[in-house]
């Protein structure tokens, strides 16, 4: 979050991008200068004041007129298909300077217009694994589903990234991107700007759901973060340092999974990656090599003092398994309920005398589903819902498909015998 640049057009036809104010303790100033297109440069005119330069009649003018008609027709058609914002809320005079400030995690009351809960859309996690894609293929597939999120706060605001989840306009981003926001604009990859309303948010997991009024948007495919392993190739798309660099692709690997990180007193279990993340990437997708969103980028570790070494390659993302649960709760009821639990603790893979593998049960919590189904420490879980399991992540991945109140069917091995149990899922 993420600041915008301010621009000024001066008399000699040059465009200068002025200042970008970085967060304390030091200031970063970026300067860029480029020639304006000839059509935008002022023309010399020596006539009297108040008069306009005479126009030259030529076929070129006719061609330009016809071209304008074609473009106008296209614009009218596009406007009928997708609402196009002509101006951002509160922008006013384009010469005004807007201070887009990096706000602290979780700060600020959100007063963005609300969108009603109770929608039918739900995030579903794909476990399909096809041939790995190239970086170019990943970008072409996912970038149309990536948006810029601009939250306005009086004369200031923040810029982050978001991911389109449904064709009718449900979008996920970070809570801290819109914290303190009074209104919100979403900019699609094709440049269209749409007013966004907020469906709900969860500060503990730094997630928020927005809704825009549109149809036919390109929705991202969400993959299961439970299938990730350390060393997997991943990509990130976002708006580092603001809108000028939006749509930037970076790559890296999964550095760690299930990493507990303390953020302002809140412990978040995150994916660690060395893909380059900067202010503005917040809320954007972490993507696996199959073009599936497996996380929502949320924070980057940085040094807090000038005399410390620069911290590089320490970015974190909310796992898609967590995103799906939180988002589905927000859309359906507006309230986040704990994920369902089995009440069974496992310690890893176990191999039976016949070579069959399963997961060894270490502990069973009294009063929860595993205890009610009769599972005991020392049992080996061979399958869940008809799927063979080899480690605890398999059980976790299957469990996350369900809600509290559902029942899991497990095949258990004990003392040379195999039997089936029904395990009720309970709210944690």
Quote the CA–CA distance of 426 and 373 in Å, as a whole number: 12
Quote the CA–CA distance of 384 and 363 in Å, as a whole number: 18
DSSP class of residue 43 equals P
Encoded tokens for 272? 């660690």
> In this structure, are residues 88 and 185 in contact, taking their beta carbons and an 8 Å threshold?
yes
SS3 label, residue 226: helix
Which residue is catalytic, options 158, 175, 176, 325?
176
SS3 label, residue 327: helix
Closest CA to 175 of 264, 273, 291: 264
To the query of whether residue 97 is one of the catalytic residues in this protein, the response is no
Pairing verdict, β 344-351 and 266-273: unpaired
To the query of whether residue 176 is one of the catalytic residues in this protein, the response is yes
First to last CA, the chain: 33
C-alpha pair distances (Å), 221 with each of 166, 285, 291, 292, 293: 9, 11, 8, 5, 6
DSSP class of residue 227 equals G
Q: Does 346 sit behind a cis peptide bond, omega within 30 degrees of 0 on the bond before it?
A: no
Q: What's phi and psi for 59, nearest 5 deg? A: -65, -25
> In this structure, are residues 28 and 279 in contact, taking their beta carbons and an 8 Å threshold?
no
Which residue is catalytic, options 202, 206, 226, 394?
206
To the query of whether residue 175 is one of the catalytic residues in this protein, the response is no
DSSP string, 339-402: PEE--EEEEEEEE-TTS-EEEEEEEE-TTSHHHHTT--TT-EEEEETTEE--SHHHHHHHHTTS
Quote the CA–CA distance of 223 and 271 in Å, as a whole number: 14
- Supply the Cα-derived Rg of the chain in whole angstroms: 26
> In this structure, are residues 206 and 268 in contact, taking their beta carbons and an 8 Å threshold?
yes
Which residue is catalytic, options 148, 279, 282, 320?
282
Encoded tokens for 163? 């991911």
Quote the CA–CA distance of 421 and 331 in Å, as a whole number: 33
Pairing verdict, β 146-153 and 207-212: unpaired
Closest CA to 104 of 173, 161, 29, 23: 23
User: Which residues are part of the catalytic machinery?
Assistant: 176, 206, 282
């Amino acid at each position: 979050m993420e600041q915008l640049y301010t621009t000024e057009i001066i008399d000699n036809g040059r465009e200068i991008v002025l200042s970008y104010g970085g967060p304390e303790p030091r200031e970063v100033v970026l300067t860029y200068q480029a020639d304006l297109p000839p059509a935008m440069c002022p023309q010399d005119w020596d006539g009297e004041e108040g008069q306009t330069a005479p126009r030259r009649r030529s076929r070129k003018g006719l061609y330009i007129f016809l071209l304008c008609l074609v473009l106008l027709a296209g614009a009218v058609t596009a406007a009928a298909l997708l609402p196009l914002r002509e101006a951002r809320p509160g922008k006013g005079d384009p010469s005004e300077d807007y201070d887009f400030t990096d706000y602290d995690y979780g700060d600020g009351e959100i007063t963005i217009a609300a969108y009603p809960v109770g929608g039918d859309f739900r995030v579903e996690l794909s476990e399909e694994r096809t041939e790995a894609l190239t970086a170019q293929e990943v970008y072409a597939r996912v970038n149309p589903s990536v948006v810029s999120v601009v939250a306005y706060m009086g004369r200031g605001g923040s810029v982050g990234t978001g991911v389109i989840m449904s064709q009718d306009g449900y979008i996920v981003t970070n809570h801290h991107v819109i914290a303190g926001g009074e209104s919100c604009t979403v900019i699609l990859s094709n440049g269209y700007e749409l007013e966004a309303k907020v469906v709900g948010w969860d500060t503990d997991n730094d997630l928020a759901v927005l809704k825009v009024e549109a149809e036919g948007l390109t929705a991202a495919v969400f993959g299961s973060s439970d299938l990730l392993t350390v060393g997997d190739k991943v990509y990130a798309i976002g708006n580092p340092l603001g809108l000028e660099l939006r749509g930037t692709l970076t790559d890296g690997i999964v550095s760690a999974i299930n990493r507990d990180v303390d953020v302002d007193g809140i412990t978040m279990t995150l994916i660690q990656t060395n893909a380059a993340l900067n202010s503005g990437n917040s809320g954007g997708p972490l993507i696996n090599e199959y073009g599936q969103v497996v996380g929502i980028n949320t924070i980057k570790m940085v040094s807090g003092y000038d005399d410390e070494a620069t911290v590089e390659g320490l970015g974190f993302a909310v796992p898609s398994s967590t995103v799906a649960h939180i988002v589905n709760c927000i859309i359906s009821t507006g309230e986040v309920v704990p994920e369902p639990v089995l009440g069974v603790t496992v310690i890893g893979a176990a191999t039976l005398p016949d070579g069959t593998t399963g997961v060894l049960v270490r502990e069973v919590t009294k009063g929860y589903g595993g205890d009610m189904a009769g599972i005991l420490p020392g049992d080996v879980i061979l399958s869940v819902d008809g799927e063979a399991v080899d480690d605890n992540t398999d059980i976790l991945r299957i469990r996350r498909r369900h809600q509290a109140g559902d029942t899991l069917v497990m095949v258990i091995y004990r003392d040379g015998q195999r039997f089936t149990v029904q395990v009720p899922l309970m709210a944690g």
